[in-house]
Structure 1
């Protein structure tokens, strides 16, 4: 066994040096992966994270070793640079990713698509869905053959993460897939025997769904989601109460409604179903009107990181900045309101009543009502009545997770690293 190194620097690892290679996009995906990576790193395992797009900034803050598309050897190839620059120029400017990272991601993925589909079909795919058609299997095979990790782990995200797990099967490296949510779209590839050695899911209902779609039961382990482990930590619960007290929420018997918004695209990225990008703000406006009309309520607005953070506050209307710990925040509220945000799941796990407004293009992907995690309504007009019927007060969640998701996953990982 190769001895682990203490380095936490960014950079492409040496071949044969890794116990575990993690592959993850940003958002909820990297939040699920990071606690496992940190625990293995702390245990002396040599790990590295292939941080995709917005995951890089999150991993950088963690201090764990990582690399990105821009660190791959082929990112310095002239064809990749030229292609990446050409494609990046066609896209709206943003300050989220460095230009070199955007160019490397686009250039490498596009040229992989050319190798898979041919130039003409690739041009057509780019014009009709762009990055949604990326599937960099050649690159992932190259990375795994070069680095030769003992094990890889990714989440259920499509494109690069899906390609990484497929590549692991091709080159004979064990792969584990951490399913962060319901996976009702991703079941199309998760159901296939051989897509990873094991799937880790957060709930028995997800396990049964995958079994019903044909995945062998022995491949699926209910572990929970590591991103939510701290919901059960007494320190997090206490932090929620402090937040409530410090902000003055819930005084004089008022009911604090936390609206955790999430962006709505022009169309569903998988199905192409048309969507309503104005939905998140329309719901926010409706909730503001509800607050104005009923003094028993107050509204806390928490927008998704990709949304405009300039939130107008007012009487009984508050803004929760990104600096607020979302796990503490769901403990601070009396009711959590979502369209399709994962905050709905966090609220449920924390024992806080959840109201899901299921009129989004993503409602079928996050069916909180169908899974018994929320009171569900299908339109704005039903919200006021549903709120009257919700019994506020926290469910007792103590003991729901006698072991953390991280500890459950580590017990499985150990089988591959002993």
Structure 2
């Protein structure tokens, strides 16, 4: 039985890992071993899939010290609202801080943590112990940050094959240095080739996190619109909001635009890390128009994406999901900084960079056949395999077969 070790954080990372882990659980010759970190544990628990944390692999003389450090940090930094259990928080913070303490001493380690928070973590010593216990045949990650990056580094040092799933476009951030790199499309492969990654390392598999996007909705479009009193609107816009430094300005621009367009519906889908207070305050200032609603987690995000006619975001992956569903996309970036994702520069979205310009973009999307035809053509470069999980499983089986 081949052992494939997955190390995953929450958010987009766990959304890539989980479908593959579930599929591998049905394979006779491969045993997936997932280490779930931070909010990934919430997703595993929701899906009722067993997972490991660092404590499952750490024993020995320094274990009491590890637990003490974990409790010390968790007392100040555990967030109950995240859904992560206190035990899982301690099991993540303790070993990560102990690694930092071993490398730099307690005072320097605490100073680093207080300055840059969890970004200080890169727990290579933890993975040395994990690998001693697990003896994996393959190590799978989807990031070069913190624990995922540390796992990749230790595996490379030991000659254990590594596979990195690039979650988005591969055009920014650290250059992936894993033995095998899985990407979602030719577009991403091209970005990596331009960063001098050898072609034979890159494998196009699609994006497992998006496979469910092409399934059927759990609730009908009309049911949602009827419940939210938006059934009579000509078109529905979905704003995939995020925690942003300029959220006040974004809220004023987007909500202000739709407050004056009563014939259109606007659904504001909050990011899980948002409380929506800023959006609620702006809504109040414009008279709480009935054509604008805020949704936190009442409906599945993919159901909302399917029902929307147009997607609005700054750089959320919901923008990419909208493109894959062949929806028009408007990106609103009022930060004065370059776009993080190439939606507008590729032609697949209309980019808004100045206050007051969203109204024109909305009109364009609703009335200009030329604009829509150009965006539709540009969306094609983002198209991906719709059964990415199966492609990913095939790649994993091929890798472990080649390294027996």
* TM-score of the pair, normalised by structure 1: 0.82
The equivalent residue for 2:295 is 320
Contact 1:183 1:365 in 2 (8 A): no
State the shift of 1:221 in Å: 1.5
Worse overlay, 279-288 or 326-335: 279-288
Worse overlay, 72-81 or 196-205: 72-81
1:145 lines up with 2:132 in the alignment: yes
State the shift of 1:250 in Å: 6.6
1:350 lines up with 2:322 in the alignment: no
1:303/1:402 CA distance change after superposition, 3 Å = closer
Alpha-carbon distance between aligned partners in 2 of 1:122 and 1:361, rounded to the nearest angstrom: 35
Q: Once the two structures are superposed, what CA deviation does each residue of 1:17-76 show, in whole Å capped at 9, x if it has no partner? A: x62111100011101111111111122332221000110111122232311234342498
Picking from 259, 268, 279, the partner of 1:292 is 259
* TM-score of the pair, normalised by structure 2: 0.85
Greater percentage in helix: 2
1:69 lines up with 2:62 in the alignment: no
Contact 1:340 1:363 in 2 (8 A): no
The equivalent residue for 1:5 is none
Unaligned stretches of 5+ in structure 1? 3-17, 265-275
Alpha-carbon distance between aligned partners in 2 of 1:185 and 1:241, rounded to the nearest angstrom: 36
1:409 lines up with 2:384 in the alignment: no
1:118/1:167 CA distance change after superposition, 3 Å = same
> SS of 2:347's equivalent?
coil
1:136 lines up with 2:123 in the alignment: yes
Alpha-carbon distance between aligned partners in 2 of 1:245 and 1:292, rounded to the nearest angstrom: 18
Contact 1:301 1:318 in 2 (8 A): yes
Alpha-carbon distance between aligned partners in 1 of 2:337 and 2:68, rounded to the nearest angstrom: 36
1:306 lines up with 2:273 in the alignment: yes
The equivalent residue for 1:218 is 200
The equivalent residue for 1:81 is 67
Q: How many residues align?
A: 382
State the shift of 1:323 in Å: 4.1
State the shift of 1:286 in Å: 3.0
Q: Once the two structures are superposed, what CA deviation does each residue of 1:380-404 show, in whole Å capped at 9, x if it has no partner? A: 3211111111147896999955551
Alpha-carbon distance between aligned partners in 2 of 1:391 and 1:205, rounded to the nearest angstrom: 28
CA RMSD, Structure 1 to Structure 2 (Å): 2.9
> SS of 1:46's equivalent?
strand
Contact 1:244 1:333 in 2 (8 A): no
State the shift of 1:320 in Å: 2.9
The equivalent residue for 2:343 is 368
Q: Once the two structures are superposed, what CA deviation does each residue of 1:275-329 show, in whole Å capped at 9, x if it has no partner? A: x2xx234423432222221223211011011111677575111233424222221
State the shift of 1:121 in Å: 3.8
Contact 2:185 2:383 in 1 (8 A): no
